[in-house]
Amino acid sequence: MSDIPRRRLGSTGPEVSALGYGAMGLSGVYGSADDAESGRLLHQLLDLGIDFLDTADVYGQGHNERLIGGLLAQRRDEVVLATKFGAGAESGLGRPDNVRTSLDASLRRLGTDHVDLYYLHRLDPTTPIEDTVGAMAELVRAGKVGHLGLSEVSAATLRRAQQVHPISAVQQEYSLFTRDLEADLLPTARELGVGVVAYSPLGRGVLTGAIRDIADVENLDERRTRYPRFEEESLRHNIELTRPLRERADALGLTPAQLALAWLLAQGQDVVPIPGSRRIGNVEANVRAATAELDPAVVAELAELFPAGAASGERYTPAGMARLDR
């Protein structure tokens, strides 16, 4: 097992591996995936020391949770399990009755009696956050949930939620390409003792350095449909942005992905990235980032090379952006 450092999610949350794993890609989001290979990869994650696994009921319409359930059937005690609910576009998903039924459905698919961290995936604009978190808190008291989290929320929403029940983590997109949360949400989370789980920490693959031309993007048409940063003009700009990252990584004996993850980890002990890959070789390489010691001058230089707003294109389509609480 690798000596991956461990971090605590906020002042009240669980202790997890400093590098987690986002499992969404195992359900065909970025290209085809083989369930048997995915099952082996999940076991290898634990063997490498990565025990913080992130899924959601919406990934593959339940497929992702069932896949992880196969791992849990054999190694539940080794996993810090996070799942999410409430990502759909329809209103009312944050209602207390939906909170309870969503968790019960997730538990059935996962084949377990509890989750360690339960997130609201997107804020329901028709339901006060106090009502949603209040219902989630009932699940904690019932022993079905260990800790609570929110995803893609504003600092104001986080403050309101924290008054109802301790929030252990906020899950937000955070990378050298996406630094919006640094202005308001990150300082608020630190003030309140809430950890930050960084999803898409490698810019959906562009920051790995493996994409040097549009033709290098797997499943390009689908990514363009979902993520405007993969539209041709924006993608060319964003690929060019990675040139200095590749140069700095080469000089340090790291891959661009390792350097991008190490930069995120250097932002504070309260930040836990959850990169996802269908290839175990990439996961093994990512693990090195958890122990890489970056000189503060390198951390500062990368921050200057990738200022907030440097990436071209919105993170999501207009419909997707409308679902974010900003």
Using CA atoms, how far residue 116 sits from 87, 173, 284, in Å, is 19, 21, 25
What is the Cα–Cα distance from 71 to 76, expressed in whole angstroms?
A: 7
Using CA atoms, how far residue 85 sits from 59, 180, 305, in Å, is 10, 23, 36
Write out the two tokens for 253. 């004996």
Q: What letters, b where the CB count within 10 A reaches 16 and e where it falls short, cover 144-164?
A: bbbbbbbbbbbbebbeebbeb
Asked if residues 16 and 52 have their Cβ atoms less than 8 Å apart, the reply is yes
What is the Cα–Cα distance from 133 to 137, expressed in whole angstroms?
A: 6
Residue 296 identity (one-letter amino acid) = P
Q: Helix, strand, or coil here: 310?
A: coil
Residue 59 among the catalytic residues: yes
Annotated catalytic residue: which of 21, 59, 118, 174? 59
Q: What values do phi and psi take at 162, rounded to 5?
A: -65, -25
Asked if residues 21 and 51 have their Cβ atoms less than 8 Å apart, the reply is no
Which residues make Cβ contacts (< 8 Å) with residue 25, sequence separation at least 6? 31, 33, 276, 277, 278
Using CA atoms, how far residue 267 sits from 55, 190, 198, 299, 302, in Å, is 24, 12, 11, 8, 12
> Taking the mean position of all CA atoms in its chain, how far away is CA 207?
15
Residues marked active site are found at 59
